[in-house]
Amino acid sequence: MRALRWGEFASAAVRDMAAVKPGETLLVLADTWTDMDIAEACLTAGISAGADTQLLVIPRMAPTDTTEFNASVSGAIKGADVVLGLCPTMFIEKTATVEARKNGTRIASTDVIGMEDFAIEGICDVDQGRMIEVAERIGEIWIKTEYCRVTSALGTDISFDMRGRPIEIGDGVAAEPGTSNFFPGVCVANAPIENTINGVIVVDGNIPPGRLVNAPVTVRIETGVITGIEGGADAGQLRAHFAASGDPVATHLCHFTLGLNPLARTSGSIHQDEHVLGAITFGFGDQDADFGGNVPDCGVHCDLVLTTGKIECDGQVLCEDNRLNEDLGLGGLQ
């Protein structure tokens, strides 16, 4: 059944997520881990949409690999009106992609490995409009929140100020020049004020390089920077991940995200796990300029996911045990 739906996925990705218009130059970007059946379906969908479409396959790069693309790959990215990324390679942080976005290139990306069913269902079988409405309502609350506290039964207890920071809604759609979005969505995020971020997060979900922990990992944070990582083997591997980057900014907290997709399930795929309704993600390292934060430039990024938790905004519960507070106008997704 899944194989029969990849054509439907490709059409939705090109039409709805990448918002491709006839006559545009579309680059379908895959790497050596990408399922070529999916890449070719997107190539066909792009051609059918009337776009000048090309498929480019690059060698897969590890998340901590800061090597820049060669001239041919860089030229292809910078020459496209739209890039539809289908690969695990973290190409968003590469210089070519940053420069392309400054010149108006739109980026719509996904990585279906380990979340094949969600990749299809998350854009074809959900109420996209309602998810966006809920995200906008949460954004209205967050931008006014002086004291956000996140806790969990496992010991998470961290707080920060969110006032005035821009809200980013990850709806998966890259329709405006220079925008970059991941699909399927939806999630809502912002960059807490760095020097107000203090406490402990206990990660029971996804950690780099994109897998579920075997046992919870405790991460201590002071003024927005990781000061300690405790636990078993998973904690050691997380410490090694940050060390491998060679960049101390990799340990700076750069965004706070809440998943809103009711069809997402914790799976071991970072991209699905962070979109689970009520899942809480803390991002570290590279910070998109749209967040309006103060994290210095960094060539790497990683996310740590809590499968569940309680979010309080100035004392009012916004989300608890993967359920949103319907009294705040957040119903319709459970």
Q: How many CA atoms lie within 13 A of 166 on its CB side?
A: 12
**Taking all residues of the chain, what is their mean pLDDT, rounded to a whole number?**
95
1 pLDDT exceeds 70? no
Q: State residue 262 phi and psi, 5-degree precision.
A: -70, -10
**Do the Cβ atoms of 148 and 318 come closer than 8 Å?**
no
316 pLDDT exceeds 60? yes
Per-residue confidence (pLDDT) for residue 224, from 0 to 100: 98
Burial (CB < 10 A; 0-12, 13-18, 19+), residue 72, is exposed
DSSP symbols for 102-133:
HTT-EEEE---TT-HHHHHHHHHSS-HHHHHH
In terms of pTM, does the model score above 0.75?
A: yes
129 pLDDT exceeds 80? yes
Strand partners, 52: 25
Residue pLDDT, tens place only, 44-59: 999 999 999 999 999 9
Averaged pLDDT for residues 275-281: 97
Alpha-helical runs (H) found in the chain? 2-12, 36-48, 71-78, 95-102, 116-124, 128-142, 233-245, 270-273
2 pLDDT exceeds 80? no
What is the three-class DSSP state of 148?
A: strand
CATH no. of 2-113: 3.40.1830.10
Averaged pLDDT for residues 2-27: 94
Separation CA 33–CA 19 (nearest Å)? 25
Which H or E run includes 282?
strand 280-285
Residue pLDDT, tens place only, 58-85: 999 987 788 999 999 999 999 999 999 9
**Do the Cβ atoms of 57 and 39 come closer than 8 Å?**
yes
105 pLDDT exceeds 80? yes
Where do you find CATH 3.40.1830.10 in the chain? 2-113
The percent of residues above 70 in pLDDT, for the chain, comes to: 100
4 pLDDT exceeds 90? no
Per-residue confidence (pLDDT) for residue 108, from 0 to 100: 97
Residue pLDDT, tens place only, 165-183: 999 999 999 999 999 999 9
Which has more confidence, 228 or 1? Answer: 228
Residue pLDDT, tens place only, 257-267: 999 999 999 99
Averaged pLDDT for residues 267-272: 92
